[in-house]
Amino acid sequence: MKIVVLAGGRSPERNVSLSSGAKITTALREKGHAAVLIDLFLGDDLSDVKNVADVFQRDATTTNYAISDEILTDEAIDALRTDGTKGLFGKNVLEICAAADIVFLGLHGEDGENGKVQAAFDLFGIRYTGSGSLASGVTMDKKISKELLLHNHIKTSGYVSVKKGEPTPQIDFGFPVVVKPSNGGSSIGMKIANDQAELEAALPDAYRFDDEVVIEEFIKGREFSMGVVNGVAMPAIEIIVNDGWYDFEHKFQENQTTFQTPPDIPDDVHTEMQAIALKTMTVLGLTNYGRIDFFWNEDGIYVIEGNSLPGMTPLSLLPQEAAAAGISYPDLCEQIVKGKLALYEAK
């Protein structure tokens, strides 16, 4: 198959996305597909080919993107594009994607996961992996997704939301609290506040990434994640942070976090976690694949949030879970592609 792996973009998680995209492209090439990595924001000038279709005949070598600790600003990302053009889609991106059999979305962060790219592709009849535009937007918005979870009796932390310029709301559930942008991922802009002063100090940083912030009840417990691929829940993975909490650095830098899959938990708890993961996928409208994050303590299992486009870097959770289930990284990528194509064909 001719497959575009679309990565990069203009999200603060740009570097993470490029790392995922490089690994996905190599894996799909190993499976015999004509896969090509394209940067959503920078595009491709096609200067080395006669027509768009020739892109898929390029040499199979793929750049390995190392993930830095740097969280890119809008200004830093804008400076990467030197042709003076505006907008999210770089040069020839839509034309190249339209020439593919399917686009593997290796995007992360707001403009990759909030449904905008998916909506544009729907309008142009371009097929892509992952969930549709509505489910993507709902899942990315932590306020809306929490409301859906609570309405469907899925246990999650209490929360309040506040928009930029509004006074800080009253916290009824006490400190500590978790402060995070309503739209975003990889714990960027997220802080744990132990008192009112720390809460007030955390809000400006969160507002750098979104105009609305969610302040959540802090749930103390063991942290887990569980991927779902084509309706099958993977083995859970326990996240054991060596020092501190599971922030951006701990997620993407080596030797910061210990991962255990399958985790050392009772079988009935693991079975319940799988059932909750599948229900959460359904409630949020997620299809093809996704990942659900949890806390577990003596009070039960709490859903932290859903992820519509889980990371696929060497340290990402879903590939580790798949490996525990006996699924290699290349096979995982191909299963995602084939699973989404089956959904398109079933329409």
Q: Which two tokens stand for residue 280?
A: 């959460």
Of the candidates 13, 110, 113, 321, the residue annotated as catalytic is 13
Specify the length of the chain in residues.
347
Buried b / exposed e across 14-31, counting CB within 10 Å, b at 16+?
bbbbbbbbbbbbbbbbbe
| Pair 255, 196: CB distance under 8 Å | no
What pLDDT shows up at residue 60?
64
Q: Report pLDDT digits (tens) over 30-88.
A: 999 999 999 999 999 999 899 999 999 987 666 666 666 566 777 888 888 888 777 89
Of the candidates 145, 186, 225, 308, the residue annotated as catalytic is 186
Of the candidates 11, 136, 316, 334, the residue annotated as catalytic is 316
> pTM score, two decimals?
0.89
What pLDDT shows up at residue 250?
39
298 is in an annotated binding site: no
Residue 308 annotated among the catalytic residues of the structure: no
238 is in an annotated binding site: no
Set out the domains of the chain in order of their start, with CATH numbers: 1-127 (3.40.50.20), 157-215 (3.30.1490.20), 220-344 (3.30.470.20)
Q: How far apart are CA 229 and CA 247, in angstroms?
A: 25
What pLDDT shows up at residue 62?
62
**Tokens 């535009």, residue located:** 133
Burial-class residue 94 by CB neighbours within 10 Å (0-12, 13-18, 19+): middle
What pLDDT shows up at residue 67?
65
Q: Dmax over Cα atoms in the chain, in whole Å? A: 63
Chain centre to alpha carbon of residue 339: 18
210 is in an annotated binding site: no
| Pair 143, 215: CB distance under 8 Å | no
Q: What is the DSSP letter of 342?
A: H
Residue 316 annotated among the catalytic residues of the structure: yes
* Residue ranges in the chain whose pLDDT is less than 50: 186, 245-253
What pLDDT shows up at residue 322?
96
Which ranges in 259-328 belong to alpha helices (H)?
Answer: 267-284, 317-324
What pLDDT shows up at residue 245?
46
Q: Please report, for residues 96, 108, 282, the alpha-carbon distance to residue 51 in angstroms, rounded to integers and kept in the order given.
A: 10, 29, 41
Of all residues in the chain, what percent carry a pLDDT higher than 70? 91
Residue 20 annotated among the catalytic residues of the structure: no
